[in-house]
Structure 1
Amino acid sequence: MSTGARGVVLERPGSFRLAEHAPRPPGPGEAQVRVAAVGVCGSDREVYQGSRPAGYVRYPVTPGHEWSGTVTAVGEGVPSSLVGRKTVGEGFRNCQVCERCHAGETTLCDAGYEETGFTLPGAMAPTLTLPARLLHPLPDDADLTAAALLEPAACAAAAALRAAVRPGQRVAVVGTGALGMLAAQLLAASSPGDLLMVGLSPDAAPLAGAFGATRYRTADEPAADNGTFDVVVEAAGAPTTARTCAALLRRGGRLVLTGIPAPGAYGLDPTDLVVRQLEVRTVFGATPEAWAHAVRAFACGLLTPLPLVTHELPLDGFEQAMALVGSGDPGVGKVLLRP
């Protein structure tokens, strides 16, 4: 019997349909979630356009890796107390038994890449069924609209943990998208002595200030403070930003790369790295530790993603959401779909 519920299915690049959605009952160790909101990001647009690297997508697929919702059912072996809880969940489906997983580096799982919304069904549908071990329950009064941004927030948390900022240090964040703003807010909680944000438009300055930046400048402004920062987080993923970030660092400073540029980007100068003894750390996705960090910060009010949301659309607005995300309009922040 048809329920009338529908989800997005990408049959192949550029071809999608709204298909009837049949909720999958949770099996042993699984939970079923009623999706409240799902975020749309550049990687979803890559799946839609067909530009996501081979091995990191499998068609047909229901996209949606940034989501929030409420647990509606659990399978055998899962505490029944989870039912009714507001929640978010990790996307990487790690094996839990390889050496990398045992070391806590679950995004580097030796079993290979599998992720919700890319190689496995995602949240652009009324329900999502996934391993319960991936869930991070939220407080009962959590705002599920804001919580839909906890996946990028977890990636930002991974960057903040890798940055290891100490109070009083000089910090810069390059990139003013959702990832950069969330990283700035988490870094601000470490009490840096200076927190500069660098972006493309002066219009981003007020929001940067609201997210903890003490200063803001555009990328084309003269950089009189190059060579003075202890830590720089790259969150733009543009072809030249890695070198821009390295130039900001003092000798012996730390660079954390989180954005992923297209292949062939203008890379770092190894001579510069060696002579100035720069430390480079990278982030790909978010480990359980980073997820827990983001969820704790959200639960206690240190992380407030809601101001980043500019558009909310029903699920049949999927194509419009893709256009908004790729528009380059500075007025477009985070786009959410509501199943």
Structure 2
Amino acid sequence: MIVETKEQRKVLLKVHELSKHFEITKGFIKRKTQILKAVDQVSLTVYEGETLGIVGESGCGKSTLGNMIMHLIEPSSGKILFEDTDLSEMSRETLRKKRKDIQMIFQDPFSSLNPRLKIFDIIAEPLRTHGIAKGDKLEEEVHKLLEAVGLSADFAERFPHQFSGGQRQRVGIGRALSLKPKLIVCDEPVSALDVSIQSQILNLLSVLQKRYKLTYIFIAHGLPAVAYISDRIAVMYLGKIMEISKKEDLLNRPLHPYTEGLLASVPVSDPELRGKEKKALEGETPNPLNPPSGCRFHTRCSYVQDRCRVEEPQLRQIGLDRSVSCHYPLGEIEASLYG
């Protein structure tokens, strides 16, 4: 866990007003083009050695944000600064070399692995591509990576279909580690796994983070998994950041009504606490092609005011290391004093 003060932390990645807009064409005779703002002017900072969780309902834009950071999708606008270098201004060759420092763990542990390659070749491919190892050294590195993720060297000659979902995800983690990256984007790495296996993968990621001094961006729609592994959490809704906060503050004292709703949606196992649950989210997520005016959450918000319907709130800092995009944050005065 991160223990340094805000002033001592080194910024590894900074995203500034990042957007991705897709053109959606409908109709055959009268064709109509609409703009889907999957990610809309998102700004956030990732500090070296931390885990920044990104959480939100399906379709909120969190995976699109992760893909843009990886440059698997080109942004429509905005900047991605990695170690103070703008990735969008790099040449293709320079960016290819820089990719060693930013790797990704994908959601589906089966489709992300080439079914025609043995596990050895899947993990060895990045090492070969970047000319890092070959021959006996390559074999040694692959076996070390397999052992690091909890698999024996004997598994190297098998194919992906011979593994369980959890084992395949361990292979994907080993591949991401092969280039000794500084940042790993984890795009819902446990959502396709059984609950019992999810905890094993989360624990493995925590162990590897300490061993290799990694920084994570952990994307998921399930708040419990994000809360388990993250130091700070960013909450997204319809392409916008609603709230960014340290984990403990967000879980105990949410500022945004949407965050409060997400917390209330988490099942409570203790019978004595069930009656004390807060009101969960109601209504359906609006059409992202036609988002509400003003605050995008106002159609589902229990605290909505007239101002919320016409004026879009901006992400602003409240207290220490907390930001919220809301005109009337929950407990704003208390949070300021607390900060």
Query: What TM-score results when the alignment is normalised by the length of structure 1?
Result: 0.29
Give the number of the structure whose alpha-carbon radius of gyration is greater: 2
Query: What TM-score results when the alignment is normalised by the length of structure 2?
Result: 0.29
